[in-house]
Amino acid sequence: MAINKEEVTGIILAGGRSSRMGKDKGLCSFRDKPLVSYAVDTLKPLCGEMMISVNHFPEKYAAFGLPVVPDEIQNIGPMGGLHACLKRSKTQHNLVISCDTPFVSTDVFRLLLQHVENYQVVCPSHDTFLIEPLSAYYNTNILGDLEKAIQHKEFKMMRFLKRIRFRTVPVEKGQSVFRETLFLNLNTPEDLKRAEELEL
């Protein structure tokens, strides 16, 4: 199933609390660039439109030249950002990335797009079925189910995925797309410092 760039919206989740980082995570500098800019660069080749889910410092994120979308429903984690952005999306197909994973590659998302037919959400899996719902494909048609989950205060993404047509795509050693650091999250200043020495 071939999907054109114009049919895909990129959603960057930068709205989470950054208590462990000590400041807003997406704006933290990593190798002389804000973390969020890596997410922009990763999705840009595959997406006709993009937006950033943000709850703090919207004016600073606006400097990246993309629409800034605040959560309509506050304090429910990534589900709040996903919900607000899917409501704004004009396309059926959406690629979602968290701002704190600078090592995730464009090729991972390209791989996911090859497996979306008949599925509403497609996530990479690795290391014996560890699933990455914040580096994934989401069809806009999950909105109704997402709103039901929010109404029932079921905010855990993994629980939500059991409600819908969901599949995983393995990303493992031996594949050209695989790297050990691929899904590394940078949550603390120490993580940032250690990651400086790793290969992008």
Q: What is the mean pLDDT of residues 1-28?
A: 83
pLDDT of amino acid 128: 63
**What is the DSSP code (8-state) at residue 164?**
S
Read off the tokens for 163.
């409600």
Find residue 97's DSSP bridge partners.
12, 135
The count of other CB atoms within 10 Å of the CB of residue 67 is 14
Condensed to tens digits (0 to 9), the pLDDT of residues 158-192 reads 999 999 999 999 999 889 999 999 999 998 888 99
Read off the tokens for 137.
């494909």
pLDDT of amino acid 17: 60
Is 132 contained in some domain? Answer: yes
Distance between CA 198 and CA 30 in Å, rounded? 12
- Give the residue numbers spanning the domain of 169: 5-195
pTM value > 0.85 = yes
- Domain holding 115: CATH number? 3.90.550.10
pLDDT of amino acid 189: 86
Residue 68 confidence (pLDDT) above 60 = yes
Q: What is the mean pLDDT of residues 112-127?
A: 96
Q: What total of structural domains would you count in the chain?
A: 1
Classify the C-alpha dihedral 100-102-108-112 as positive or negative: positive
Is 200 contained in some domain? Answer: no
Distance between CA 134 and CA 122 in Å, rounded? 10
Distance between CA 112 and CA 118 in Å, rounded? 13
